[in-house]
Amino acid sequence: MKKKGEEEKEKKGEEEEKEEEEEEGGKGAIKICWRRRWGEAVAELPPATIGEEQRCCDDGGDDLEEAAKPLDEYASLREFFVRTLKEGSRPIDSDPCCLISPVDGTILRFGELKRAGSMIEQVKGFSYSVSSLLGASPFLPVIAEEDIQQDSKGQEIIPRDENKKSWWRISLASPKVRDPAPASLTTGLFYCVIYLKPGDYHRIHSLVDWNVLVRWHFSGRLFPLYERAARTIRNLYVENERIVLEGRWQEGFMAMAAIGATTIGSIELFIEPELWTNQPRKNLLHSEPPEERVYEPEAVGVMLKKGDEVAAFNMGSTVILIFQAPISKSLEDDSASSEFRFCIRRGDRIHVGEALGRWHDS
């Protein structure tokens, strides 16, 4: 039984969180503690007690027939959200010159980053930098200065403006940047953003054979990640709690950012099961650096094969990929197109194992 003073203190803290969120994210922002408590309560309900899981799957999610076991055998919604699928439900594209989707979801944005300090567009008018998303990555390669970047449909992405002041905070963790990796004349830097609905299959797989060298855990908020939130909350993906895996594959740099979301919010990392995310905190310091773990053996890390399970979300969320891939080796022909080609469109539904993009092995 809580004392009256403790209850008043807790209530005051929640009101302060609400005021801060409304200032940063608009009047529709929900209190962090309410999201966490509500999410935890719902997560422990047995699926048989409510029809939410079927509604989620009907709303663009997966067919319940693909689940590895019958619905009534799941002890809770939490267990249902991280369900496995029947063998063969997600065949992996075997083309060695292919990057596969690591998740089931909807393609929000994708393209090539063509200038130093490049920004990724969240929605029209809101953009975030790759360096803010990944933190002080020593592996992120320097890319050549260009006037503009475009996605594969020719959409203009807002370039970096050195003089423009932003009214929102550069969040969480932008620790001092270390010397970046050198750029390659034969590879470009690409990105892809994929949104997972609550009813989607929630396990994250490896999109290619690669070595995970380091893990970053950014403490953060748990703003919702649906479309309305993306339109109203600046730096949404940078503000939210996230895990970033970085390493190397045959073409260079590879990073996978798993962004936590409202309600349950936690992320299970199968290659590091002891990692605990979504920890309740009274104060969130936006200058706090991310927690870093370098995987051993150093310079080798954790080896993953294409299609391997890497992590799981406990509810809907977003995955952002940043990676190097082959581009034209012709320096004389400015019109030469990249050898790596996305084979997706914005708004496409995609499943684990399906091709995100391909290139030609020269």
Catalytic residue among 62, 200, 202, 205: 205
Nearest to 352 by CA among 105, 109, 111, 110: 105
Catalytic-residue membership of 351: no
Catalytic residue among 104, 151, 200, 308: 104
> Is residue 85 packed enough to be buried (19+ CB in 10 Å), middle (13-18) or exposed (0-12)?
middle
By residue count, the chain amounts to 362
Catalytic residue among 132, 152, 206, 317: 317
Catalytic-residue membership of 317: yes
Beta bridge partners of 245: 215, 256
Residues marked as catalytic: 104, 205, 317
